[in-house]
Amino acid sequence: MDSLSYIKLSAIILIFSVLSNGCSSDEDQPELIQEEELITTVKLTFKSSDETQIIQWNAEGTNSESIQLKANSIYDVAVEFLDESDPVDIEDITTEVIEEANDHQVFYEFSGVNVTYETSDTDTLDDNQNPLYINSLWNSGEPGSGKVRVYLIHEPTSKSSNDRNGFGGETDIQVDIPLNIN
C-alpha cells in the first residue's frame, strides 16, 4: 500500500502543478488585431474638362452618394482602394493592387444607364499588356439614372471579358453606386 499512496500523492502534485501552470499562462490581455489587407473604402475620382467629382463608398455603406455625369461626355476616372480602419494611418491598397497587376482586375458593370469605358494613357498594364482599368476613360450616353457596380477581382482566370463571370477569380470588392446622367 505504500507505493500506492506514493503514486497517488505524486499524481495529485502533478495535477496541481498543471493547474497552476494553466492558470498563469494567460494573465495578460490578448493583442488587439488591426486587420491587414482590409479595404474599407472605394474612392472614384471623375475628371472632365471643367470639373472634378470625388465619390466614396466605405465599408459601413453610410456615405455612398450618387455619381452625377453630364450626357455624352468623356470623364477621366481613377479608382482607389483604401484601408481607413485606423484614421491616423490610412493605407492605400491601390499600390498593392498595382504591384500585383497580374493577379488583379478592375471591372465596371452598368445598369439602367448607357456608359462605356476604355483604358486611359495613365492606366496600369500587367505583364501581358492587359489594362487594369485603375485609370479609365468613361463615355456617358443619354440622360438617365441607374448604377455602376465596381469590382476588384483577385486572381482572375481571364483578363478580358464583357461580364463578371468571364473573369472568374475571387471578388475582393463589389459595390453598387447610384449613377445619374443629366
Residues engaged in binding other proteins (CB under 8 A): 1, 3-4, 7-8, 11, 14-15, 18-19, 22-23, 25-26, 29-37, 39-42, 57-59, 61, 85, 93, 96-97, 99-100, 103, 109-112, 114, 146, 149, 153-155, 157, 163-165, 168-175
How many CB atoms lie under 10 A from the CB of residue 116? 11
How many CB atoms lie under 10 A from the CB of residue 96? 15
Of residues 51 and 86, the one with the C-beta less far from other proteins: 86
> Nearest distance from residue 47's CB to other proteins, in Å?
24
**Through-space distance between the first and last CA atoms of the chain, rounded to whole angstroms:** 97
Of residues 51 and 170, the one with the C-beta less far from other proteins: 170
Residue 175 pairs in a beta bridge with 150
> Nearest distance from residue 55's CB to other proteins, in Å?
14
Question: Of 139, 155, 68, nearest to 104 (Cα)?
Answer: 155
Of residues 72 and 112, the one with the C-beta less far from other proteins: 112
Q: Which amino acid makes up residue 15?
A: I
Of residues 57 and 138, the one with the C-beta less far from other proteins: 57
How far is the C-alpha of 105 from the C-alpha of 100, rounded, in Å? 10
